[in-house]
Amino acid sequence: MREAYIIKAYRTAVGKAPRGFFKFKRPDELAAETIEYMISQIPDFDKKLIDDLIVGNAMPEAEQGFNVARLISLMGLKVDDVPGVTINRFCASGLETIAIATAKIKSGMSDCIIAGGVESMSYIPMTGFKPVPNYNTVSSGKEDYYWGMGLTAEQVANEYKVSRESQDLFAYESHQKAIKALEEKKFSGQIAPIKVKEIYLDENQKKKERETTFNEDQGPRKDTSIEVLSKLRPVFSATGSVTAGNSSQMSDGAAFVMIVSEKMLKKLNVEPIAKLIGYSVAGLPPKIMGMGPVRAIPKVLDQVGMKLKEIELFELNEAFASQSIAVINELKLEKDIVNVNGGAIALGHPLGCSGAKLSVQLFDEMKLRKLKYGMVTMCVGTGQGAAGIFEKL
């Protein structure tokens, strides 16, 4: 099989939803401008060389509907030649697109694909506008198929004996690591600056327009503490332990990578960043969906013939502190190489974007640390897990 190389990788800053700095930024615009910025980083690049645009999105409706990938292609590339397809594996959608693009290039079907994801949780609510569970499924005792993620987090906390205190500590440490990363400008080279226009009233109550550029994540909080976190009430169960403080933030963001064949690599005369060498997904009971990585990680390691100890850096999506702690404990992961710059509790979780976003972050940190193998892994709604292994080049 041929080889597939990632040559560019960018993400937006992540905004809080629904009242953050991207609250009025449509997701198709957010994604299009991210891709436009990425393309601008390749001198004299002919956009017609792109075979496809694959976009991950967890709630593909309304402003994220109409096969949003094709609209993003038209808006961001400004040519008619590049098709687009929208992919949904909930939280792993962005990572799934990278796997699909890699497979298509390795099989010889394509030479150049842009893959990634976008999500606006400011525009589209968590379950979409009209969730319609199957009555027969629910009445037959399978209501957990439709559980909200918070209920699954409580289930994991109970089954795997994860205390409220450990969850709050994990959340606090996520913020501290993220704040440190921001202060050290760890993310500055990977973020596509996005401009947002807003209408406001001046001192004379006249409408004015201003434009602001956002290029730094909005989520990390310097003012949080163990004491503050410990006072928050449980959200999903009166007697539970999962709070807004130890859960991932609702967010808006986009992230994309460009993947090419060796032939295209030579044609463009660019240096590769990394390559995806293995990807696996797995299923498990929906009520403990947070444990998905425990199934997916051994599967992908077996696929490529590697041992867990060979993975030098992990980006584990922090859907909730309870499931992150349980996954780390069950797999006996080395905590000091997991989410070294903070995770979704501090930095946010723009659903369909997250897998691609974490990949972009992983590449930069691996380069900084001079590492060879890293992994992006996440739990997925309705009882799934996903894990991808990247080799830094």
Q: Could you read off the pLDDT of 51-96 as tens digits, one per residue?
A: 999 999 999 999 999 999 999 999 999 999 999 999 999 999 999 9
Distance of CA 244 to the CA centre of its chain: 19
Residue with tokens 């226009």: 197
- In DSSP terms, 198 is beta-bridged to 210
Reported as a pLDDT band with limits 50, 70 and 90, residue 319 is very high
Q: Which helix (H) or strand (E) holds 252?
A: strand 251-261
Q: Report CA-CA distances (Å) from 236 to 149, 156, 181.
A: 9, 13, 31
pLDDT at 199 over 90: no
What does pLDDT average to over the chain? Answer: 97
Q: Which helix (H) or strand (E) holds 325?
A: helix 321-331
Give the domain 4-125+248-275 fold: Peroxisomal Thiolase; Chain A, domain 1 (3.40.47)
Report yes or no on whether pTM surpasses 0.85.
yes
Angle formed by the axes of helices 321-331 and 164-183, to 10°?
90
Domain 142-187+222-236+276-388 has CATH 3.40.47.10: yes
And the tokens for 195? 């401009």
And the tokens for 384? 């799934």
Select from 129, 174, 182 the least CA-distant residue to 319. 174
Q: Could you read off the pLDDT of 153-197 as tens digits, one per residue?
A: 999 999 999 999 999 999 999 999 999 999 999 999 999 999 999
Catalytic center residues: 91, 349, 379
Select from 253, 343, 176 the least CA-distant residue to 17. 253
* Radius of gyration for the alpha carbons in the chain, expressed in angstroms and rounded: 20
Residues with Cβ within 8 Å of residue 171, at least 6 apart in sequence = 224, 229, 245, 246, 321, 345, 346
The domain segmentation of the chain, as residue ranges, is 4-125+248-275, 142-187+222-236+276-388
Q: How far apart are CA 84 and CA 250, in angstroms?
A: 26
pLDDT at 198 over 90: no
CA-angle at 152, arms to 146 and 158, nearest 5°: 145
pLDDT at 200 over 90: no
Summarize the confidence of residues 215-226 as an average pLDDT: 96
